Amino acid sequence: MSTSEREIQNSIRLMLPTLGCTAWRANVGQAWTGSEIQRLPDGSMFIRNARPFASGLPPGFSDLFGMVHETGKFFAIEVKSQTGRPTTQQENFIEFINNHGGLAGIARSVDDAKKIIGG
């Protein structure tokens, strides 16, 4: 059985502090708002004039980001399973970080993440 993206990400998150890095997980999502929000007796919600909105970071932002303490370098790690493919937006974000002095790449394993940050 192949390792899931979540399992790879968790393993990387546990490894990064051992290499002198502080890292955060990037969370994004979609929610709903409207002109009036009511909680109904059954616990559900009614939203008048409902409209979705995105929250969190811009599209393409990597799953994990942080700083290497020793060098002060910003890093961004896009975590993928063995078969996962990055989106064009993710590839553009990685390229942007690398072109502006940061460290970024795609990690399919803990070893890939170590290579990205230079560990």
pLDDT in the model for residue 57: 87
| Range 5-26+61-117 classified under CATH 3.40.1350.10 | yes
pLDDT in the model for residue 55: 80
Edge-to-edge, what's the strand order for the sheet holding 103-107?
21-25, 64-68, 73-79, 103-107
pLDDT in the model for residue 61: 95
pLDDT in the model for residue 119: 61
79 neighbors 107 (Cβ within 8 angstroms): yes
* Number of Cβ atoms within 10 Å of the Cβ of 45: 11
73 neighbors 103 (Cβ within 8 angstroms): yes
pLDDT in the model for residue 106: 98
Residues spanned by CATH 3.40.1350.10 within the chain? 5-26+61-117
Which residue in the block uniquely carries the two structure tokens 């968790």?
Answer: 10
What is the token pair recorded at 19?
């290499």
Residues of 99-113 as b/e, b for ≥16 C-beta within 10 angstroms? eeebbbbbbbebebb
Local confidence pLDDT in tens for the 119 residues of the chain = 678 999 999 999 999 999 999 999 988 788 889 999 999 999 999 999 999 988 888 889 999 999 999 999 999 999 999 999 999 999 999 999 999 999 999 999 999 999 999 96
DSSP E strands, the chain? 21-25, 29-33, 36-39, 45-48, 51-55, 64-68, 73-79, 103-107
